[in-house]
Amino acid sequence: MSFFAHYNYHIAIILAMIGFYTMISRTNLVKKIIGLNVFQVSVFILFISIGVLEGGTVPILREGYELYSNPLPHVLILTAIVVGVAMTALALALAIRIHEAYGTVEEDEIHAQDDEPGAQ
């Protein structure tokens, strides 16, 4: 089994690590959201890869075809994408509110404002 036989799984892992690292290392809230998105997309790719069958065709019953891809993971991922969109929308809305309240979306500047004496 060569490295490239499962390249889609490798891409999923690489994307997940890129997203995860972005989320941990960046202090900008919007960049954190982008990292989170990349991380989620990697999971979508993982799920879609599971459904693929070598030599399989689209899952529509038709004469002359025996082998079909599994449609269930794709359906699951449609749901997960919707969840991801809702999450992104909420995160961005929070980022806007944070910008209104603090005047910045940089985490260290927000902490600095919170730590100031007199800040409640």
Which residues of this protein are in contact with other proteins, per CB under 8 A?
A: 20, 23, 29, 32, 36, 39-40, 43, 46-47, 50, 73, 76, 79-80, 83, 86-87, 90-91, 94-95, 97-98, 101-102, 110, 114, 120
CB of 23 to other proteins, least distance (A): 7
Rounded Cα–Cα distance for residues 42 and 82 (Å)? 15
According to DSSP, the residues that pair with 28 across neighbouring strands are: 106
Helix and strand element counts for the chain (H, E):
4, 0
Residues 6+ apart with CB under 8 A from 87: 36, 40
The nearer residue to other proteins, 5 or 64, going by C-beta atoms, is 5
Which structure tokens are listed for 112? 């600095």
The nearer residue to other proteins, 18 or 95, going by C-beta atoms, is 95
CB of 64 to other proteins, least distance (A): 25
Are 89 and 83 spatial neighbours (Cβ–Cβ below 8 Å)?
no
The nearer residue to other proteins, 65 or 97, going by C-beta atoms, is 97
